[in-house]
Amino acid sequence: MKKVILNKDIFGYRAAIVENGLVEELFIEKIGEGQLNGVYFKGRVINVIPGIESAFIDINKEKNGFLHIENVKKFDSALKIGDQGVGIDKLVKTGEELIVQVLTDPSGNKGLRLTTNYTLPGKYLVLVPNSEKISISKKIEDSLERERLKNIIEEILPNGFGVIVRTEASEKTVFHFERELAYLLNCWKSIEEKFKKSKIGDILYIENNLCKNIARDIFGKAMDEIIINHEESYWEMINYINTFGDKNNLTKIKLVKGNEDIFEKYGINEVVEKSLKKLVPLQCGGYLVIETTEALTSVDVNTGRNLGNKDFEETIYTTNLEAAKEIPRQLRLRNIGGIIIIDFIDMKLEKNRESLVKELEINLKKDRVKNEIIHFTDLNLVEMTRKRVGTPLSAHFYEECPTCKGLGKIKSKEAQVEDIL
Mean pLDDT of 123-128: 95
Is residue 200 in some structural domain? Answer: no
Is residue 58 in some structural domain? Answer: yes
The CATH number of residue 165's host domain is: 3.30.230.10
> What integer pLDDT is reported at residue 253 of this predicted model?
95
pLDDT digits (tens, 9 = 90+) for 8-59: 998 889 999 999 999 999 999 887 665 688 899 999 999 999 999 999 999 9
Residue 20 and residue 8 share a domain? yes
pLDDT greater than 80 at residue 421: no
Separation of first and last alpha carbons in the chain = 66
From 145, 168, 192, give the residue that closes a domain: 192
In the chain, % of residues over pLDDT 70? 94
Residue 370 and residue 283 share a domain? yes
Is residue 418 in some structural domain? Answer: no
Residue 291 and residue 254 share a domain? no
> What integer pLDDT is reported at residue 209 of this predicted model?
83
A 10 A CB-CB count for 357 gives: 15
| Confidence class for position 405, pLDDT limits 50, 70, 90 | confident
Is residue 405 in some structural domain? Answer: no
Residue 80 and residue 23 share a domain? no
> Mean pLDDT: which of 206-210, 260-264, 301-305 is highest?
260-264
Is residue 321 in some structural domain? Answer: yes
Is residue 169 in some structural domain? Answer: yes
pLDDT greater than 50 at residue 377: yes
Residue 289 and residue 348 share a domain? yes
Residue 22 and residue 2 share a domain? yes
Is residue 402 in some structural domain? Answer: no
Q: Model pTM?
A: 0.84
Mean pLDDT of the chain: 90
pLDDT digits (tens, 9 = 90+) for 264-277: 999 999 999 999 99
Residue 347 and residue 315 share a domain? yes
Q: Are 8 and 206 in contact (CB under 8 A)?
A: no
Domain range for 168 is 122-192
Is residue 264 in some structural domain? Answer: yes
**The total number of structural domains that make up the chain:** 4
Torsion angle of the four alpha carbons 27, 64, 73, 204, in this order, in degrees rounded to the nearest 10: 60
Residue 317 and residue 217 share a domain? no
pLDDT digits (tens, 9 = 90+) for 78-91: 555 445 567 888 89
Q: Are 81 and 90 in contact (CB under 8 A)?
A: no
